[in-house]
Amino acid sequence: MKRIGIDVGGTNTDAVLIDKSTVLAAVKSPTTSDVMSGVINSIQRLVKAQGDAPLDIDAVMIGTTHFTNAVVERARLDRVAAIRIAMPAAASLPPMVDWPADLRASVNPLSFMVAGGHEYDGRPLVPLDRDAIRDAAMRMRDAGITAVGITALFSPLTAECEVEAAEIVSSVLPEARITLSHRLGRIGLLERENVTLLNASLQSLGQTTVEAFRSALASVGIRAPFYLTQNDGTVVLAEVAAANPVYSFASGPTNSMRGAAFLSGRTEGMVIDVGGTTSDIGCLVNGFPREANNIVEVGGVRTLFRMPDLLPMALGGGTIIDPETGRIGPRSVGYRITEKALVFGGDTLTTTDIAVAAGIVEIGDRDRVKHLDRSLVDSRLKGIHQMIEDGVDRMKTSAGDMPIIVVGGGAFLVPRELSGVSEVVHVEHAGVANALGAAMAQVSGEVDQVFSDMSRDAALAAAQEIATQRAVEAGADLNTISLVDAEDIPIAYLPGDARRVRARVVGTIGTPGMKLVA
């Protein structure tokens, strides 16, 4: 069972070839502006590392920053139609009211606020205005818009208005690609609508990106099924992922965390991924990144949906140290480290220079940092360790020491001992943990909805069945599916013993499709 894992990052495109859990080859290449030539180049180097023998690939797993970049750059976004079903409530704050003006302009929304939606206790707010939705669909057709986001009041508890509205829109506009808010977000109308509309705006890019990856893989002779990695550390078949690009927003750091779990063989603990400019600290729970419960901003937009709980810190291998004040960061020389850092003959003092001077790591020319004052080196090293200790402490949810797994190119900055940490785990292949995390990823299925008029056991079983069905749709092998987590919250104010159940299952990828020789 051979797989290729690829992680397209801002600076590097990392790729690994694995056979079951053995790493056969790992390469790092610069990310190219067109992305695809970098991906092709990486795969060709993997092939070369295997002695140009034919590759028998079962699956390719890709993590990409394509979608986040589009939002951040305000580019390649579709014009969106926003339907909000909540009138006469929430009338004063229209869709995208709190988006940055430039992003709103690039999405240029056609917004409709129609009557309908539900209350928290399941009563309709007012009857759904079906005619208004039909009119909206006709106006979308006239404007040539196919990317549609529908958000109804309290839809995470009662989804029927969104489902019915989608049917009406599809009947008028069969080519519409519709995002329903209850499938993505949680309680919090503006935040859930924001995620929905971001997702709608990325529909074309989702399709073209998947097509581009498909032809890039074909050009190097790979026709195996391929998958995109998700915020929760799992993968879904690329064509399924194309419909929900927002689920790929945080795939980079998530892949690193999954890689850390795989490389260390651990399922619980903290993970620090030290890059060139920043570090991310996260927490593994049951082998997967802990989910954020608070608002996460994406490109200046407030969102509340399935995202990993991460603490970004301005600390990496290229972080600049002010020789006068000793201040560490926040600026970094970034990818120009090989020309700027002292050990490479440059003129900028970086964290890497401090580590080399302290004899922790051998990079570049150690003689070039010999002149550094020993007390400066020691105090700055201590400062770096302090930053890491503070970060780890902030990400804990309770007191008590926890192990930390260290990955990323700047892993050498993390010492063997840290206060508040029971064990610092350094691993092999730490530099390509992200690509490994992608390669090893499993397929998940998730459900988060309200069940009523059934017992608790029946509700949990029903939730697991829906999650399983979704996992199989996303490419999982039915026989390998297991439950990762399930929780239920009784909703006291709803009739019929109602409870909200969240369940998530994972399984290994299903029967491989066509295999081809590279």
**According to CB under 8 A, which one of 22, 375, 398, 511 is a site residue for another protein?**
398
Pick the closer one to another protein by CB: 96 or 136.
Answer: 96
**Beta-carbon contacts of residue 491 (< 8 Å; ≥ 6 apart):** 157, 450, 498, 499, 500
- Name the DSSP class of 96: T
Cα angle 503, 505, 510; round to 5 = 150
Pick the closer one to another protein by CB: 24 or 311.
Answer: 311
Q: Is 125 in the site for another protein (CB under 8 A)?
A: yes
**According to CB under 8 A, which one of 86, 132, 433, 459 is a site residue for another protein?**
86
Q: Is 208 in the site for another protein (CB under 8 A)?
A: no
Q: Is 21 in the site for another protein (CB under 8 A)?
A: no
Question: Site mask, another protein, residues 416-455, x = CB under 8 A?
Answer: ----------------------------------------
SS3 of residue 263 by DSSP: helix
**Beta-carbon contacts of residue 231 (< 8 Å; ≥ 6 apart):** 247, 248, 249, 250, 251, 254, 306, 307, 308
Q: How far apart are CA 512 and CA 299, in angstroms?
A: 36
Q: Is 399 in the site for another protein (CB under 8 A)?
A: yes
Question: Site mask, another protein, residues 477-496, x = CB under 8 A?
Answer: --------------------
Q: CB–CB of 295/311 below 8 Å?
A: no
DSSP string, 305-361: BS-B--EEES--TTEEE-TTT--EEEEE-GGGHHHHBGGGT-SB-BHHHHHHHTTS-
Stretch that binds another protein, among 9-17, 31-39, 187-195, 498-506 (CB under 8 A): 187-195
Q: Alpha helices of 222-250 — where are they, by DSSP H?
A: 238-241
Q: Is 195 in the site for another protein (CB under 8 A)?
A: no
- The pairing of beta strand 177-180 with beta strand 147-152: parallel
Q: How far apart are CA 469 and CA 362, in angstroms?
A: 51
Q: Is 119 in the site for another protein (CB under 8 A)?
A: yes
Q: Is 99 in the site for another protein (CB under 8 A)?
A: no
Q: Is 16 in the site for another protein (CB under 8 A)?
A: no
Q: How far apart are CA 405 and CA 205, in angstroms?
A: 35
Pick the closer one to another protein by CB: 86 or 342.
Answer: 86
Q: Is 298 in the site for another protein (CB under 8 A)?
A: no
Q: Alpha helices of 112-159 — where are they, by DSSP H?
A: 130-143
Stretch that binds another protein, among 239-247, 330-338, 392-400, 434-442 (CB under 8 A): 392-400
Pick the closer one to another protein by CB: 188 or 287.
Answer: 188
Q: What minimum distance in Å lies between the beta carbon of 376 and another protein?
A: 24
Cα dist. 323→84, 195, 317, 373, 376 in Å? 55, 43, 16, 10, 9
**Beta-carbon contacts of residue 479 (< 8 Å; ≥ 6 apart):** 507
Stretch that binds another protein, among 37-45, 120-128, 198-206, 403-411 (CB under 8 A): 120-128
Pick the closer one to another protein by CB: 111 or 338.
Answer: 111
Q: Is 396 in the site for another protein (CB under 8 A)?
A: yes
Pick the closer one to another protein by CB: 10 or 420.
Answer: 420
Number of residues counted as binding another protein (CB under 8 A): 30
Cα angle 415, 421, 423; round to 5 = 70
Q: What minimum distance in Å lies between the beta carbon of 334 and another protein?
A: 23
Q: Is 328 in the site for another protein (CB under 8 A)?
A: no
Q: What minimum distance in Å lies between the beta carbon of 298 and another protein?
A: 17
Q: Is 89 in the site for another protein (CB under 8 A)?
A: yes
CB-based burial of residue 275 (10 Å sphere; 0-12 exposed, 13-18 middle, 19+ buried)?
buried
Q: What minimum distance in Å lies between the beta carbon of 294 and another protein?
A: 7
- Of 336, 347, 416, nearest to 381 by C-alpha is 416
Q: Is 394 in the site for another protein (CB under 8 A)?
A: yes
Q: Is 90 in the site for another protein (CB under 8 A)?
A: yes
Report residue 323 CA to chain centroid gap: 37
Q: What minimum distance in Å lies between the beta carbon of 345 and another protein?
A: 33
Q: CB–CB of 93/190 below 8 Å?
A: yes
Stretch that binds another protein, among 52-60, 84-92, 347-355, 476-484 (CB under 8 A): 84-92
Residue with tokens 């802990």: 290
**According to CB under 8 A, which one of 49, 126, 363, 486 is a site residue for another protein?**
126
Pick the closer one to another protein by CB: 120 or 365.
Answer: 120
Q: CB–CB of 147/196 below 8 Å?
A: no
Pick the closer one to another protein by CB: 217 or 283.
Answer: 283
**Beta-carbon contacts of residue 281 (< 8 Å; ≥ 6 apart):** 270, 271, 272, 273, 310, 311, 313, 391, 392, 394, 395
**According to CB under 8 A, which one of 22, 294, 325, 375 is a site residue for another protein?**
294
Pick the closer one to another protein by CB: 190 or 476.
Answer: 190
Binding residues for another protein (CB under 8 A) = 86, 88-93, 97-98, 119-121, 123, 125-126, 153-154, 187-190, 294, 390, 393-399
